[in-house]
Amino acid sequence: MPTPLVVSEVAKSFTMHLRDGIQLPVVENVTFAVAAGECAVLGGPSGIGKSSILKMLYGNYGVDAGQILITHDQVTVDIASADPRTVLALRRDVIGYVSQFLRTVPRVAAVDVVAEPLVARGVSHDEARARAVELLEKLNLPERLWSLPPATFSGGEQQRVNIARGFITDHPLLLLDEPTASLDAANSAVVVELIRAKKVAGVALLGIFHDNDVRAEIADRIIDVSGFRVTRDAA
Amino acid sequence: MSDHPLLRVNAITKYYGSRVGCTDVSFNLWPGEVLAIVGESGSGKTTLLNAISTNLMPTSGTVEYRMRDGQFRDLYRMGEAERRFLMRTDWGFVHQNPADGLRMTVSAGANVGERLMAIGNRHYGNIRQEATQWLGRVEIDADRIDDQPRDFSGGMRQRLQIARNLVTGPRLVFMDEPTGGLDVSVQARLLDLVRGLVNDLGLSAIVVTHDLAVARLLSHRMMVMKEGKVIEHGLTDRVLDDPREPYTQLLVSSILQV
């Protein structure tokens, strides 16, 4: 089976034009791969560029140099140079992403927020909602919240909606940005269980986990992001 | 996903005398894709929208549209009658001011029904039924069907304008600041509605807005305009999360946080 994710010599910096064009180097020479059925964890202190790497993989950040090769159905795409249409198709079918914070949409009920990625892939509304309810139940989100828009939910409740949304599809590659950050132990354990099920299903996972217990439970490998720090002085 | 774009815009330029409206804008729009054009007032967004939608003859450049038979046609080489028919049936145009897109002194039902009659519907009962159904989809109560839009609130008028445009099942909708001038709760409702309809109907849309939050919510792809030129374009998330150009960085950093 081909490796679903290969990252090769990726570099990223920001140019802050509003601050006299100063260059903020983020990472360079980022090189790693994640195999199917494996959960790799990005390690290193805060501010080292872990989230930036996930955002490049999902297409939210541009890439200065290098390649991010995503392979699915024997087709390999370099997301670093792919056009917007290709990135959107990959997000729909291949790459799932649980962000740190839920971006709420006015008026859309939690259950529909969760069901949306399935509907986008052509699953009927009813079936998608049924799957969404199953996940929300598993994540212990109170039933009275399902039909409400998540904007007013607590951090932990929003986080669980976000997790359900990320886990509802069978995307072969899943990016997780601190999915357990605002969860209690019981709900973290549910997420650990969901991640294990994804591994068994052959999904390649790449995540950021600051919680040592969670990390110990699910990580097959730690990728130390400190190794990708930019060493030369920024001009 | 279709392998052909729906619209091919090639080097559109519009001068007003010696003043620049927009220069050398080229892009493809794909079926089901929503493109946002953002920029401050006077940056050429609306000029570009009008030049693409044949409301304003460009100084140079071409706009080609893939007709239902799969053939591309140059819009500015089409006969006037054919172009008008296209605009009435296969396209929609949602104006910022609903009064520009509605007939304010005929009933809501007639506003919606008129576009149906333009495509050959003649059965009064069917037209009324279809109009009622569309009013429902844009959340206007059926008992307002005989009222005139001048008796409607701003948000209702805008929703009616959307119903009028979508009733013929267009494949491409142009929107010029669709939420401009509406208060925020009305805006949220309209955005949610538009977002749902675009998804359900698989529409392509070009949305001009100065509101980056609207662009984030509605669009897949984004073009940033300044002084008549497209200075940055790409996936909406990418442009907003990792803006490259000084002007785009200024726009993004100017968003007020609530």
- Output the pLDDT for position B198: 86
* DSSP 3-state of A22: strand
**Range from A87-91, A148-152, A230-234, B195-199 carrying the lowest mean pLDDT:** A230-234
> Using an 8 Å Cβ cutoff, are A62 and A37 in contact?
no
Tell me the mean pLDDT in the region B217-236: 96
pLDDT in tens, A175-215: 999 999 889 999 999 999 999 999 999 999 999 998 999 99
Confidence of residue A232 (pLDDT cuts 50, 70, 90): low
How far does B13 lie from chain A, in Å, by closest CA? 24
Residue A233 has pLDDT above 60, yes or no: no
Q: Hey, what's the torsion of the CAs at A155, B235, B36, B247, to 10 degrees? A: 90
- Output the pLDDT for position B2: 59
Chain A hits for B33, CB-CB cut-off 8 Å, are 85
Establish if A151 touches chain B: CB-CB under 8 angstroms.
no
**Rounded distance, CA B139 to CA B189, Å?**
10
Establish if B238 touches chain A: CB-CB under 8 angstroms.
yes
Confidence of residue B249 (pLDDT cuts 50, 70, 90): very high
Which ipTM score applies to this complex? 0.91
User: Residues 176..215 of B with a Cβ closer than 8 Å to A: which?
Assistant: 188-189, 191-192, 195, 199
User: Residues 44..73 of A with a Cβ closer than 8 Å to B: which?
Assistant: 55, 58-62
pLDDT in tens, A35-55: 999 999 999 999 899 999 999
Tell me the mean pLDDT in the region A109-113: 95
Chain A hits for B241, CB-CB cut-off 8 Å, are 55, 60-61
**First-to-last C-alpha distance (Å) of chain A:** 43
Residue B48 has pLDDT above 70, yes or no: yes
- Per the CB < 8 Å rule, is B192 touching A85? no
- Output the pLDDT for position B195: 87
% pLDDT > 90, chain B: 75
Token pair listed for A192: 């650990």
User: Residues 78..107 of A with a Cβ closer than 8 Å to B: which?
Assistant: 84-85, 87-89, 105-107
Nearest to residue A183, comparing CAs of A171, A192, A174? A192
- Calculate the average pLDDT of chain A: 93
- Residue of A15, A55, A88 lying closest to B220 (CB–CB): A88
The phi, psi pair for A231, rounded to 5°, reads -90, -40
- Output the pLDDT for position B1: 47
Q: What is the pTM of this model?
A: 0.92
